[in-house]
């Protein structure tokens, strides 16, 4: 039996994960409220952990809440799966520092297919000409999504920047084209964020050349793929030594897919 504590369990992704766990075999889940910084939630965690009944903490809360939860997990030597998005670079550095004693699976997108798409676009960004290919990223989400661009879109931009040897801070543009701007800069990674209604989660990266283009798109119609990935990650991370991992590590994807 795998015992999971779910932080942010009343949020959109946390609720979907709890619903998924109810149908999963060999799993027992403890729901931690949307605000896991509340003292009563840590009392719950400590009671379960004290009985050695907790195997892993899965977090879908908020960056500030995650940091405090990470301190608890590190002190109690409990592995974590973190699907929370919206971290700043400083918060990510702090998170890695706090959690060094335990294994941590950190990914802003728990879909296995999205992670395969990341590796595909990584290969494309590396091998396609750097001086003649323009790169655009378009992401769509429901109207209630809080952060823009999405954590997934930022990972896409980061992948491109790293493979091309560009500074992400200098090349990133977000929803800011307006007016007579002149020719598009070559070293630019543009992200367009669309929010509305109940739109499905969708991410597309466009490699636009002269006379041809390549698009890699990932679309999710439900939250079940993310829940499946989080559960698979939970089963995997508890068997790993301390360190920070992502789903690509779990899947064992080679650096080159084509």
Supply the residues annotated as catalytic. Answer: 141, 145
Bridge partners (DSSP) of residue 134 are: 208
Cα 83 off chain centre by:
5
Q: 149: cis peptide before it, omega within 30°?
A: yes
Tokens of 195: 């929010």
28: exposed, middle or buried (Cβ count in 10 Å: 0-12, 13-18, 19+): middle
Between CA 122 and CA 112 the distance in angstroms is 16
Using DSSP's 3-state secondary structure scheme, residue 142 falls into coil
How distant, in Å, are the alpha carbons of 93, 161, 187, 224 from that of 167?
Answer: 18, 6, 9, 35
Backbone angles phi, psi at 29, to 5 degrees: -120, 140
Helix axes 63-75, 89-98, angle to 10 degrees: 10
Between CA 34 and CA 32 the distance in angstroms is 7
């Amino acid at each position: 039996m795998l015992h999971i504590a779910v932080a942010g369990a009343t949020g959109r992704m946390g609720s979907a994960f709890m619903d998924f766990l109810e149908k999963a075999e060999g799993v027992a889940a403890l729901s931690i409220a949307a605000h896991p910084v509340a003292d009563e939630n840590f009392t719950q965690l400590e009671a379960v952990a004290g009985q050695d009944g907790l195997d892993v903490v899965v977090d879908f809360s908020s960056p500030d809440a995650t940091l405090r939860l990470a301190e608890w997990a590190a002190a109690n030597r409990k592995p974590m799966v973190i699907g929370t998005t919206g971290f700043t670079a400083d918060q990510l550095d702090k998170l890695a520092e706090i959690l060094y004693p335990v294994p941590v699976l950190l990914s802003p997108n728990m879909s296995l297919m999205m992670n395969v798409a990341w590796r595909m676009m990584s290969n494309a960004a590396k091998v396609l000409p750097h001086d003649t290919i323009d790169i655009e990223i378009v992401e769509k989400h429901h109207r209630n999504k809080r952060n823009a661009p999405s954590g997934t879109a930022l990972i896409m931009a980061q992948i491109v920047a790293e493979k091309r040897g560009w500074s992400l801070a200098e090349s990133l543009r977000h929803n800011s084209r307006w007016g007579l701007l002149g020719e598009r800069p070559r070293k630019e990674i543009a992200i367009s964020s669309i929010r509305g209604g109940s739109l499905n989660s969708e991410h597309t990266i466009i490699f636009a050349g002269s006379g041809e283009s390549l698009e890699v798109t990932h679309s999710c119609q439900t939250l079940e793929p993310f829940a499946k990935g989080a559960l698979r990650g939970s089963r995997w991370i508890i068997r790993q030594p301390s360190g920070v991992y992502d789903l690509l590590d779990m899947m064992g994807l080679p650096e080159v897919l084509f």
